[in-house]
Amino acid sequence: MSTTQSLSVKSPTSKFEKSQMPLPALGPDSVHIKIKYSGICHSDIHQARDEWFEGIFPMVPGHEIAGEVVAVGSNVTKLKVGDKAGVGTFVDSCRECEYCLAGKENYCLKGNVQTYNGRHYDGTPTYGGYAQDIVVDHKYTLKIPENLDLAAAAPLLCAGVTVYSPLNHWGVKAGMRVGILGLGGLGHMAVKFSVAMGAETYVLGHTASKAQDAKDFGAKEYLITSEIAETHKNFFDVILNTTSADLNVDSLLGMLRVGGSLVNVGLPGNSQNYNPFSLVTGLKSIAGANTGGIQETQDMLDFCGEHNIVSIIELLDATDPATIDQAYSRVVGSDVRYRFVIDASTI
Amino acid sequence: MSTTQSLSVKSPTSKFEKSQMPLPALGPDSVHIKIKYSGICHSDIHQARDEWFEGIFPMVPGHEIAGEVVAVGSNVTKLKVGDKAGVGTFVDSCRECEYCLAGKENYCLKGNVQTYNGRHYDGTPTYGGYAQDIVVDHKYTLKIPENLDLAAAAPLLCAGVTVYSPLNHWGVKAGMRVGILGLGGLGHMAVKFSVAMGAETYVLGHTASKAQDAKDFGAKEYLITSEIAETHKNFFDVILNTTSADLNVDSLLGMLRVGGSLVNVGLPGNSQNYNPFSLVTGLKSIAGANTGGIQETQDMLDFCGEHNIVSIIELLDATDPATIDQAYSRVVGSDVRYRFVIDASTI
C-alpha cells in the first residue's frame, strides 16, 4: 500500500508529528487529490483530544480539504486531472437509505463514513486532510470553482456548508432579517452567505471587538446580545447560532418574529432550557442542522463561485508540527480571524 | 345597557352562579348570536382560578361558542339572521399590525382582545360564552357549516383550530406519519384532523386505556410513549404534543425523521430541557403554536363541514350551576371523553 506524508497524533494527549499514513490504491471510482490546503475545524480539536467520543489513533484530522486532481479511475467523469477539487466531512455513505437517495448523505441512516476518525464499511480507518494526498470515491468529491482562491476555499468544505445549508433550508432571502450569533469560523461565513442571499444581516456577539469586521463582511449592524432583548423583540426571521456557549434560549426566541426559527449549528456541551410559552406565543421553533449533502455542498461551492465568497484565513506553515498544536490553542481561545488553513506543501 | 343570563365566578375561589352580565348594544358592524352551546376548555379553569395571571372578576369564561344569529348590524354581510355562527378565543385585534393584515390575528402585535377575561381597547371587560347571548364584531365571527351538529361543533372554535392550525402549518398530508401526544380534548380533535388530512396517524399516551377510542377516531395504532424510544426511531414526521405534562424532549426528538418537528400546543408549566445534539443530528425542530387566525379558523370549520368532523362531547345541563364546578374537577382529573359542552338553554 502506498502512503502519504501526514500530520498525526498518536493519542489524545500527544503533540502533532509528521508520519507516513496509508493511502488507498486508486480504484475505477476513485479520485486522487493532491492536497494543497486543509482547514482546521474546531471539531478536529474535539476529536484529536477525545472530547466527544473515543477516537481512532493514530489520527490525521482534517475535513476541509482543497487540492488538485492528479489521477482519476476509469469510471470517473465529474472530475479530471488538473481540476480544483475538495473533500468535506464524509467520504462515503450507505447509498441506499431514503436520505442517501434524497441527496442528504449527511443524515445517512447507516451512518456515513467520516473523512477522518471513522471507518470505511470494511473496517479500515479513515485518515483526513492534514496530509499531502487523499484518495476518495468520486461521488464524495466536490468541484471547486476555478475563480476561488484555493487556500481560502478550503474552509468552505465544512464551515461553509455547515452554515449555508440551514440558511438555505430556512429560506433566507431578501426581505428577511437574519441574526448570526457568534463571529468565528462558522459565523463569518454565515454573514457572507446571508448577505449574498439578500437578507438584512446582523451579527450578535458579547463584545464589540469584531464590530468593524462584521460590517466589512456586509452585516448591517453588530449587536451586543445581552443588550437587545427588549429593543429587538419580533425582529429576526432567523437567528443562526454558530457558538457552542450556553444560550438564553427564551431571550433569543423573544427576538424572533412570528414563525421565526432559532437554528443551532454550534453545539453547547450542556442541555439547554426553554419555556414552552416562548415557542407557542409566536409559532416559533428551536432547530438544528448538521452540514449538508453532496449536491448541496456542490451548490454551495457554485454559489461561492458566483458571489466570490471565500473564508478569511490565516495560512499555517507546518514545517514545525508544533505550529498545529499552537494553532489549536489559539482556536480554543477564539484567537483566530477567522480560520486556520495548513499549507500542505509544508507537511 | 342590556344584559344576558350568564354563569360567572366572583373570584378565583368562588363557585359558579347565575347572574346577569352586560351585553353590548348592536352596532352597524355587530352580530348578535344567541348562544346555544359553549365548550369548556382547560384554559377556562386556569383563568377562572387565576392560575396564569390575575383575572378580571366577575368572570364569564367560555371561548368555544356556537349559536344562531338573531340580529346583524347594517354593515354585516358575512352572516345573516338564522345562520349557525361561532366565536373563538378572541373578539377583536388591532387590525393594523403586519400579522393582523396577514390574517394571523392570533399573533396580533398589540395583543388581541380575548373573548373573556380581557378588555376591549376602550377598557371595558369582555365576557365569554357561558351565557345566552354575545354581541361581536362581524370580522371576528365564524360561520359554522349547516351540516355539523351545533353542540359537537362548539369545541372546534378553540380545541379544533388549536390543533388544525399547526397540522396545517407543518404540512401534514398523505405519506407522512404523525404522532399525537395525548388523547384529550385537543388530542382527539388532532387525530381526526390528521387522519382526514391523509397522514398515517398514531396516538402516543402513557396508558392504553384509550387505545380503542384512538382507533375509532382513525388512528393506525396506539403507542405507549415510554416503550417506543428504541423501536420508533426516525419514525414520525410530526409529533404534536397536546398535553401539559413535562416531556422527555430528547426521546421524542429521537422518534422524528430527518427534518421532523415536535410541535407543542399543550403548555407545561415548567421549562423543558433539550440536548442540542438531538436537533442538530437530524435537522429537527421543537416548535409551538397558538390557535389560528380568523380565516384559518373558517378554513378549519369548512374542512370539518366537508369531512364531517366534530368533537366527541358530554353535554352539560347547567340548571344547577354546581354542575360546572363539578365538570371543572373532572377536566382537571382528565375524566372527560372528550369535551364538556354547556347547553346554554339551561343557563
Looking at the domain assignment, is residue A295 inside a domain?
no
The rounded distance, in Å, linking the Cα atoms of B98 and B104 is: 8
* Beta-carbon-side half-sphere exposure of residue A104 (alpha carbons within 13 Å): 18
* Closest approach of B260 to chain A, Cα-based (Å): 10
Where in chain B does DSSP place strands (E)?
2-8, 17-23, 30-39, 65-72, 84-87, 90-92, 113-114, 133-137, 142-143, 177-181, 200-205, 221-224, 236-241, 256-264, 272-274, 285-288, 313-317, 339-343
* Closest approach of B283 to chain A, Cα-based (Å): 4
**Chain A residues close to B169, C-beta within 8 Å:** 283
pLDDT at res. B266 = 86
The rounded distance, in Å, linking the Cα atoms of B118 and B114 is: 5
B288 and A267: CB-CB below 8 Å? no
pLDDT at res. B335 = 92
Is the minimum CB–CB distance between B181 and chain A shorter than 8 Å? no
pLDDT at res. B52 = 86
Average pLDDT over residues B275-304: 97
Whether residue B276 sits in one domain with residue B244: yes
* Closest approach of B204 to chain A, Cα-based (Å): 19
Of A267, A275, A278, the CB nearest to B276: A267
**Chain B residues close to A280, C-beta within 8 Å:** 264-265, 267, 288-290
Whether residue A245 sits in one domain with residue A188: yes
Res. A264: pLDDT tops 80: yes
Res. A144: pLDDT tops 90: yes
Looking at the domain assignment, is residue A170 inside a domain?
yes
C-alpha cell recorded at residue B194: 390528521
- End-to-end Cα distance, chain B: 20
**Chain B residues close to A265, C-beta within 8 Å:** 280
pLDDT at res. A112 = 97
Residue type at A290 in one-letter notation = N
Is the minimum CB–CB distance between A288 and chain B shorter than 8 Å? yes
What residues 85-104 of chain A have any CB closer than 8 A to a CB of chain B? 99, 104
pLDDT at res. B267 = 83
Comparing alpha-carbon positions, the chain B residue that sits nearest to A100 is B258
Structure confidence by residue, pLDDT tens digits, A36-56: 999 999 999 999 999 989 999
pLDDT at res. B269 = 79
CB neighbour burial string for A184-193, b if at least 16 within 10 angstroms, e if fewer: bbbbbbbbbb
Residue A248: CATH number of its domain: 3.40.50.720
Comparing alpha-carbon positions, the chain B residue that sits nearest to A162 is B280
Res. A268: pLDDT tops 90: no
A107 and B258: CB-CB below 8 Å? yes
Is the minimum CB–CB distance between B57 and chain A shorter than 8 Å? no
Looking at the domain assignment, is residue B214 inside a domain?
yes
CA distances from B128 to B92, B158, B298, B332, B338 (A): 13, 13, 20, 20, 21
Cβ–Cβ < 8 Å for A200, A257: no
Give the residue from B254, B247, B243 showing the smallest Cα distance to A273: B247
Percentage, residues of chain A above pLDDT 70: 100
Burial of A94 (0-12, 13-18, 19+ CB in 10 A): middle
pLDDT at res. B1 = 72
The rounded distance, in Å, linking the Cα atoms of A245 and A268 is: 5
Residue B99: CATH number of its domain: 3.90.180.10
Comparing alpha-carbon positions, the chain B residue that sits nearest to A165 is B283
Res. A1: pLDDT tops 80: no
Is the minimum CB–CB distance between B267 and chain A shorter than 8 Å? yes
The rounded distance, in Å, linking the Cα atoms of A229 and B123 is: 29
Give the single-character DSSP code of B153.
H
Whether residue B284 sits in one domain with residue B271: yes
Give the residue from A24, A330, A2, A310 showing the smallest Cα distance to A157: A310
Is the minimum CB–CB distance between B43 and chain A shorter than 8 Å? no
* Closest approach of A232 to chain B, Cα-based (Å): 13
Whether residue B131 sits in one domain with residue B77: yes
Of A234, A264, A280, the CB nearest to B264: A280
The rounded distance, in Å, linking the Cα atoms of A211 and A224 is: 10
**Chain B residues close to A272, C-beta within 8 Å:** 273-276
**Coil/strand/helix, residue A185:** helix
Partnered with residue B314 across adjacent β-strands are B340
Structure confidence by residue, pLDDT tens digits, A124-140: 999 999 999 999 999 99
pLDDT at res. B87 = 98
pLDDT at res. B235 = 98
Number of domains in chain B: 2
pLDDT at res. B268 = 82
Res. B188: pLDDT tops 90: yes
pLDDT at res. B184 = 94
The rounded distance, in Å, linking the Cα atoms of A142 and B259 is: 24
The rounded distance, in Å, linking the Cα atoms of B28 and A300 is: 57
Structure confidence by residue, pLDDT tens digits, A313-327: 999 999 999 999 999
The rounded distance, in Å, linking the Cα atoms of A139 and B234 is: 25
Looking at the domain assignment, is residue A322 inside a domain?
yes
Structure confidence by residue, pLDDT tens digits, B197-249: 999 999 999 988 899 999 999 999 999 999 999 999 999 999 999 998 899 99
The rounded distance, in Å, linking the Cα atoms of B219 and B179 is: 9
A268 and B276: CB-CB below 8 Å? yes
Comparing alpha-carbon positions, the chain A residue that sits nearest to B271 is A275
Whether residue A43 sits in one domain with residue A136: yes
Cβ–Cβ < 8 Å for B278, B284: yes
* Closest approach of B3 to chain A, Cα-based (Å): 33
Is the minimum CB–CB distance between B81 and chain A shorter than 8 Å? no
Res. A266: pLDDT tops 90: no
Instruction: Tally C-beta pairs within 8 A across A and B.
Output: 100
The rounded distance, in Å, linking the Cα atoms of A335 and A197 is: 28
Whether residue B149 sits in one domain with residue B36: yes
**Chain A residues close to B261, C-beta within 8 Å:** 285
Of A234, A282, A286, the CB nearest to B286: A286
pLDDT at res. A127 = 98
**Chain B residues close to A287, C-beta within 8 Å:** 279, 283-286
Percentage, residues of chain B above pLDDT 90: 95
B109 and A279: CB-CB below 8 Å? no
C-alpha cell recorded at residue A87: 473533500
Structure confidence by residue, pLDDT tens digits, A67-121: 999 999 999 999 999 999 999 999 999 999 999 999 999 999 999 999 999 999 9
CA distances from B104 to A115, B78, B119, B152, B289 (A): 47, 19, 20, 26, 12
B286 and A274: CB-CB below 8 Å? yes
Give, for B165, the enclosing helix (H) or strand (E).
helix B159-169
Is the minimum CB–CB distance between B286 and chain A shorter than 8 Å? yes
Burial of A323 (0-12, 13-18, 19+ CB in 10 A): middle
**Cβ atoms within 10 A of the Cβ of B146, count?**
9
The rounded distance, in Å, linking the Cα atoms of A341 and B61 is: 65
The rounded distance, in Å, linking the Cα atoms of B292 and B153 is: 16
The rounded distance, in Å, linking the Cα atoms of B67 and B85 is: 5
pLDDT at res. B207 = 87
Give the single-character DSSP code of A286.
E
Name the average pLDDT for chain A.
97
Whether residue B179 sits in one domain with residue B123: no
Looking at the domain assignment, is residue B299 inside a domain?
no
Predicted confidence band of residue B15 (pLDDT cuts 50, 70, 90) = very high
Whether residue A179 sits in one domain with residue A92: no
Give the residue from A240, A256, A249, A104 showing the smallest Cα distance to A172: A240
Looking at the domain assignment, is residue B218 inside a domain?
yes
Where in chain A does DSSP place strands (E)?
2-8, 17-23, 30-39, 65-72, 84-87, 90-92, 113-114, 133-137, 142-143, 177-181, 200-205, 221-224, 236-241, 256-264, 272-274, 285-288, 313-317, 339-343
Structure confidence by residue, pLDDT tens digits, B77-96: 999 999 999 999 999 999 99
Is the minimum CB–CB distance between B268 and chain A shorter than 8 Å? yes
pLDDT at res. B202 = 98
Of B275, B283, B288, the CB nearest to A289: B283
The rounded distance, in Å, linking the Cα atoms of B207 and B222 is: 9
Predicted confidence band of residue B265 (pLDDT cuts 50, 70, 90) = very high
Whether residue B199 sits in one domain with residue B149: no
Give, for A50, the enclosing helix (H) or strand (E).
none
Structure confidence by residue, pLDDT tens digits, A174-200: 999 999 999 999 999 999 999 999 999
Looking at the domain assignment, is residue B333 inside a domain?
yes
**Chain B residues close to A273, C-beta within 8 Å:** 271-273
Is the alpha carbon torsion for A275, A276, A277, A279 positive or negative?
positive
B272 and A271: CB-CB below 8 Å? no
**Coil/strand/helix, residue A222:** strand
pLDDT at res. A138 = 98
B286 and A287: CB-CB below 8 Å? yes
C-alpha cell recorded at residue A300: 454551495
B104 and A258: CB-CB below 8 Å? yes
A107 and B290: CB-CB below 8 Å? no
Looking at the domain assignment, is residue B302 inside a domain?
no
**Coil/strand/helix, residue B288:** strand
pLDDT at res. A298 = 98
Name the average pLDDT for chain B.
97
A258 and B288: CB-CB below 8 Å? no
Q: What is the domain extent for residue A208? A: 161-288
Res. A229: pLDDT tops 80: yes
Whether residue B102 sits in one domain with residue B10: yes
Backbone angles phi, psi at B261, to 5 degrees: -130, 135
Helix, strand, coil percentages (3-state) for chain A, rounded to 5, are 30, 30, 45
Of A271, A278, A289, the CB nearest to B274: A271
Average pLDDT over residues B142-164: 98
Q: pTM for the complete prediction?
A: 0.95
Average pLDDT over residues B273-278: 95
Percentage, residues of chain B above pLDDT 70: 100
Whether residue B152 sits in one domain with residue B31: yes
The rounded distance, in Å, linking the Cα atoms of B143 and B146 is: 9
Is the minimum CB–CB distance between B283 and chain A shorter than 8 Å? yes
Whether residue B216 sits in one domain with residue B199: yes
Interface test with A, best of B234, B240, B277, B284 (most A CBs within 10 A): B277
Of B99, B271, B280, the CB nearest to A290: B280
Give, for B191, the enclosing helix (H) or strand (E).
helix B185-196
Cβ–Cβ < 8 Å for A24, A135: yes
